[in-house]
């Protein structure tokens, strides 16, 4: 509820980082993520997805959404599920967003997974 991301190592708390203004709703770590580098995707009630460097915990980039991100996944594109039920596909390099599913119900998207073909 405080916008902080806690970094753990070997069962102990290593560091705490203020990332969001408000609640952190989703987080995803990928060893080979954005720009083929290790990265941490974090979405919060401030309607922002931050893409962080896990070593420094500094933002590599960020994207602002019209709704609150509740789930996130990444492959070639960033896939974001919003609290309003919409699913948005993002090309981070072009800063392009396309809503690929509009919900007719005000229900949340709880989980997403990208499946490679």
Q: Is 8 within the bounds of a domain?
A: no
Q: Is residue 99 part of a domain?
A: yes
CB 33 within 8 A of CB 70: no
Q: Answer whether residue 112 shows pLDDT above 80.
A: no
Question: Is there a domain that residue 3 lies in?
Answer: no
Would residue 15 count as lying in a domain?
no
Residue-number span of the structural domain to which 94 is assigned: 24-117
- Give the pLDDT of residue 1: 77
Query: What is the number of domains present in the chain?
Result: 1
pLDDT tens-digit series, residues 41-66: 999 999 999 999 999 999 999 999 99
| Contacts of 69 by beta carbon, 8 Å cutoff, 6+ apart | 25, 26, 43, 44, 47, 48, 49, 80, 81, 82, 83
Residue 17 lies in a domain: no
Reported as a single tens digit per residue, the pLDDT across 77-111 is 999 999 888 899 999 999 899 998 877 666 666 66
> Which whole number is the average pLDDT over 14-34?
95
- Tens of pLDDT, residues 2-13: 999 999 989 899
DSSP label of 75: S
Kindly state whether residue 12 falls inside one of the protein's structural domains. Answer: no
- Residue 116's Cβ-side half-sphere holds a number of Cα atoms within 13 Å equal to 3
CATH number at residue 52: 2.40.10
Best CA proximity match to 28, nearest among 65, 81, 64, 67 = 81
pLDDT of residue 104: 60
Map residue 35 onto helix, strand or coil. helix
Q: Is residue 40 part of a domain?
A: yes
């Amino acid at each position: 509820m405080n916008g902080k991301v806690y970094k753990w190592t070997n069962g102990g708390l290593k560091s705490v980082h203020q990332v969001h203004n408000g609640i952190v709703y989703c987080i995803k770590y990928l060893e080979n993520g954005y720009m083929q580098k290790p990265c941490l995707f974090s979405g919060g009630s401030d309607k922002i997805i931050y893409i962080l460097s896990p070593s420094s915990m500094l933002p590599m980039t960020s994207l602002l959404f019209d709704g609150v991100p509740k789930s996130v996944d990444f492959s070639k594109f960033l896939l974001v599920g919003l609290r309003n039920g919409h699913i948005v596909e993002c090309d981070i390099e072009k800063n392009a967003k396309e809503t690929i599913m509009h919900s007719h119900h005000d229900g949340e998207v709880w989980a997403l997974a990208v499946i490679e073909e």
